[in-house]
Amino acid sequence: MMTPNDQALLEAARAARENAYAVYSHFQVGAALRTRDGTIITGCNVENGSYGLSICAERTAIVRAVAMGYTEFDTIAVVAHPLATPCGACREFIIEFGQEIRVLCADANDLSRVQSWQIAELLPDSFDRASLPRSGQ
Ligand code: THU
């Protein structure tokens, strides 16, 4: 069920998508993170002539948020046309900050076409910081 807060997050992701630098794939993606305190931080994909360096919208949003001092996230919205779910690398990047983060993916042309998951459903049995041995042990 989408709340008014979810709708606002999807709208923010759609607006961020306008800034996508997708000159190679022409596949524009916008993302918007909602922090636990309700702040919205957006990102878009940023491609590069050395194709492998391209960064997805989700990771752009997370890197921006962390640089601003936020590490506690409630939901990430992803908007593309057609609807796209986060790639494997982005799933790892999202789950770093919590198994329970919600992921909303919507079609840019119709935000009511939306799917939602918890990140752990998209990346079951994940490698995360709990998998790392603690130093000194
Ligand atoms: N992309 C994203 O930004 N997020 C996704 O969830 C899927 C893929 C970008 C990466 C690349 O710039 C373009 O979409 C095509 O793969």
99-132 pLDDT, tens digit per residue, is: 999 999 999 999 999 999 999 999 999 987 778 8
Q: Which of 11, 18, 47, 58 is catalytic?
A: 58
Q: Whose CA is nearest to atom 3 of ligand 1?
A: 56
Whether the predicted pLDDT of 15 surpasses 60: yes
pTM of the model: 0.95
* Nearest CA owner, ligand 1 atom 5: 86
* Ligand 1: centre distance to CA 63 (Å): 16
At the topology level of CATH, where does 4-121 sit? Cytidine Deaminase; domain 2 (3.40.140)
pLDDT confidence bin for 136, thresholds 50/70/90: low
- Ligand 1 atom 4, closest CA: 56
Q: What are the pLDDT digits (tens) for 25-82? A: 999 999 999 999 999 999 999 999 999 999 999 999 999 999 999 999 999 999 999 9
Query: 47 an active-site residue?
Result: no
Task: From 102, 33, 38, select the one nearest 63 (Cα to Cα).
Answer: 33
> Ligand 1 site: residues with CB under 6 angstroms?
22, 25, 27, 29, 45, 47, 54, 56-58, 78, 84, 86-87, 90
pLDDT level of residue 135 (50, 70, 90 thresholds): low
Residue closest to 44 by CA, chosen among 75, 65, 17: 17
